[in-house]
Structure 1
Amino acid sequence: MPKILPQVGGDVVELILADHRWFEEALRELRDVRSDRAAVLADLAAVLIAHAEAEESKVYPSLRKRDAIDAEEVEHSEHEHDEGNEALLALMEVGDTSSDEFGDKVHELSEALSHHLDEEERDVLNPARTDVSAEVRERLGADFAAERARLLDANCGEIENVRRIVAEAGKK
């Protein structure tokens, strides 16, 4: 299992892509019956929540303000985060990591996450590359990395926090 990436700054597009590749590796580990699935899931929950929350609070508003993405794209991406969080919570609530149910829930999370990563890379990150200056992407990278680190330090992937996030999304 790859270590949780210690991000301190850089181009926000590259930082987000590094997390995306990390998510894909974590999902591969979750599918491997020989891995420590509980540990992998704990790491994935922490990084996934920190990543999405940092995008929503730091990256999307800035890209929207600069007209790189529109309100509809922000809403769509946030909706996909909500779907991913629901799938993550369902997986976290499975007691037996060796059960068929765990495998089924890994598949559901993998489907939701893969769909989101693909769309975000095409519809959010590409416009960020072309419509936002390198200087702004660097500043956004520092803001994203700092917020992600703050959330990781606050144990954002704990199941009670994931439940709270899913419940709040249900009230939107």
Structure 2
Amino acid sequence: MSSTDVVELILQDHRRMEDLFRTMRNVEADRAAALEEFAGLLIAHASAEEEKVYPALRRYKNVDGEDVEHSVHEHHEANEALLALLEVDDTGSQEWDEKLEELVTAVNHHADEEERTLLNDARENVSDERRAELGEAFRAARAQHLEAGCGSVENVRKLVESVKD
């Protein structure tokens, strides 16, 4: 039985992203397939957090609203780095490796910060029952985004451009 605790679900996604980074760094792996899975996971994960988790966490007085805002900002930075990698045609090129490392840096920085701030705050201040409810909402939203092909280069480009406007 997999957990429905929103904190555990978010952590599972973070670990899966780390696995995919290892695959994308491996020149013998199917880097394009790993990137495709990663792109969908990153966009679905961040969108579900912003729609279902962050608004709920903002309501807790012991959860820092600035941490929530900062996390949203970091999602945008990760999306920009993702788009830059998606736009590289040759997965064996130096450019691909460079853009991958920029993406790894952006995502790992965010995941690390989120785990130390928001997720620990959620563990301390949000009841198990509420975390399970948020987990269900997060999982459903994430699945909807994945079904809609949220990781496509066209969709990621739209997301990046919507922030610049």
TM-score by length of 2: 0.97
1:74 deviation in Å? 1.4
Report what 2:27 is aligned to: 33
Of 55, 58, 76, the match for 2:52: 58
Alignment of 1:1-172 (within 5 A): 10-171=4-165
Stretches of structure 1 that go unaligned for 5 or more consecutive residues are 1-7
How far apart, CA to CA, are the structure 1 residues paired with 2:29 and 2:86? 16
Report what 1:3 is aligned to: none
Secondary structure at the counterpart of residue 117 of structure 2: helix
1:170 deviation in Å? 1.6
**RMSD (CA atoms):** 1.1
Stretches of structure 2 that go unaligned for 5 or more consecutive residues are none
- Count residues in correspondence: 164
1:67 deviation in Å? 2.6
Give the share of equivalent positions with the same residue, in percent.
55
The question of whether the paired residues in 2 share the 8 Å contact of 1:58 and 1:143 is answered with: yes
1:169 deviation in Å? 1.5
1:66 deviation in Å? 2.2
Quick one: which amino acid aligns to residue 117 of structure 2? D
How far apart, CA to CA, are the structure 2 residues paired with 1:91 and 1:22? 18
How far apart, CA to CA, are the structure 2 residues paired with 1:68 and 1:87? 31
The question of whether the paired residues in 2 share the 8 Å contact of 1:10 and 1:138 is answered with: yes
TM-score by length of 1: 0.93
- Where does structure 1 differ by over 6 angstroms across 4 or more consecutive aligned residues? none
Q: Deviations over 1:6-39 (max 9, x none)?
A: xx86000000000000000000111000110111
1:68 deviation in Å? 4.1
How far apart, CA to CA, are the structure 2 residues paired with 1:159 and 1:9? 31
Secondary structure at the counterpart of residue 29 of structure 2: coil
The question of whether the paired residues in 2 share the 8 Å contact of 1:85 and 1:166 is answered with: yes
